[in-house]
Amino acid sequence: MVYSTNPDFQYELGSDHEEDTLAPNKQDLRVQLDRKQRNGKNVTLITGFVGNDDDLKALAKILKTKCGVGGSAKDNEILIQGDFCNKVIEILKNLNYKVKRSGG
């Protein structure tokens, strides 16, 4: 941070703009089944999303609705409760996303 005696000085944060969301065919998503730190419960984890939070949450809502379960979206990851890897991959491919199943 810079100190200034100028009364009209405006401090500017360097990262004010949100990240632009890539088009679905430019995204490289990874789908995996995750059990770590979840009390033995399975979740389908989708990683690799590049974009802003609103678009991430919109995609998560589509996936949760089509799978009929709950989940969450934050930090460029989507969690879908339960083992829905194959269904999620199919849904994402129908939405023109590039998607791969990864180990987990």
Per-residue pLDDT of the chain (104 residues; tens, 9 = 90+): 556 676 776 666 555 455 688 888 898 999 999 988 778 889 999 999 999 999 999 999 999 999 999 999 998 999 999 999 999 999 999 999 999 998 75
Among 3.30.930.10, 3.30.780.10, 1.10.580.10, 3.40.50.10420, name the CATH number for the domain at 24-101.
Answer: 3.30.780.10
| Nearest of 80, 90, 14 to residue 99 by alpha carbon | 90
Q: Provide the strand spans (E) within the chain.
A: 28-34, 43-47, 71-74, 77-81, 98-101
Is the whole model's pTM more than 0.85, yes or no?
Answer: no
| Nearest of 31, 58, 60, 28 to residue 44 by alpha carbon | 31
Q: Is 67 helix (H, G, I), strand (E, B) or coil?
A: helix
| Nearest of 53, 77, 56, 78 to residue 67 by alpha carbon | 78
